[in-house]
Amino acid sequence: MNSRKLAGGPTQDEIMAVSLLKLGLVSTDSVLEIGCGTGKVSVAMAKAAKKLYSLDKRPDAVSLATETARQAGVRNIEFFCTDAREFLRTDATWDCAFLGGTSGLEEILPILAKKVKRTIVINAVMLSTLDRAVTVLQDLGIFCEVVQVQVSRSHEIAGSIMFKPIDPVFVIVARGAACS
């Protein structure tokens, strides 16, 4: 994995595992990722899907994610340094979408509801993001569930073991017309 740093850091493995499970990717899927960050989740999704279109409006994030994908030998990702609202003006559609963090949810989610055939997953760490996303998805009639993932990792201390918590993440799931 690339050692360069990016604000927010890479997604924790356990959070990524739950998010990918909820996406339910299959090998024929075309996937849109909004907010590629370090590229860690991008690489995992690309390994499970046919094609990944990955966006971030931060040039340093796109550069880091591109390098992460190169180091992993993954070639089925197209990275774009752009705002999601601009990118979504195309006629493209996708099987699934993953939002790793983004502004403008109120504008983006209604567009994704029309352009994503199966599953939308949003990872949120802030309660305000959780509230905005769930409210919009409920209004669109595609809200499925929120899973709060709280992970703690063991650390040695004084000859014993203690657990240090990692910040909780809300995995928000939306699907077509119904949840299964």
pLDDT beyond 50 at 177: no
On whether residue 110 sits in a domain, the answer given is yes
Range of the domain at 82: 13-175
Higher-confidence residue: 178 or 99?
99
8 inside domain: no
Q: Is residue 3 part of a domain?
A: no
CATH classification at residue 128? 3.40.50.150
The answer to whether position 106 is within a domain reads yes
How many domains is the chain partitioned into structurally? Answer: 1
3-state SS string over the chain?
A: CCCCCCCCCCCCHHHHHHHHHHHCCCCCCEEEEECCCCCHHHHHHHHHCCEEEEEECCHHHHHHHHHHHHHHCCCCEEEEECCHHHHCCCCCCEEEEEECCCCCHHHHHHHHHHHEEEEEEEEECCHHHHHHHHHHHHHHCCEEEEEEECCEEEEEECCEEEEEECCCEEEEEEECCCCC
The predicted-structure confidence for 117-162, as pLDDT tens digits, reads as follows 999 999 999 999 999 999 999 999 999 999 999 999 999 999 999 9
- Express each pLDDT in 87-98 by its tens digit: 999 999 999 999
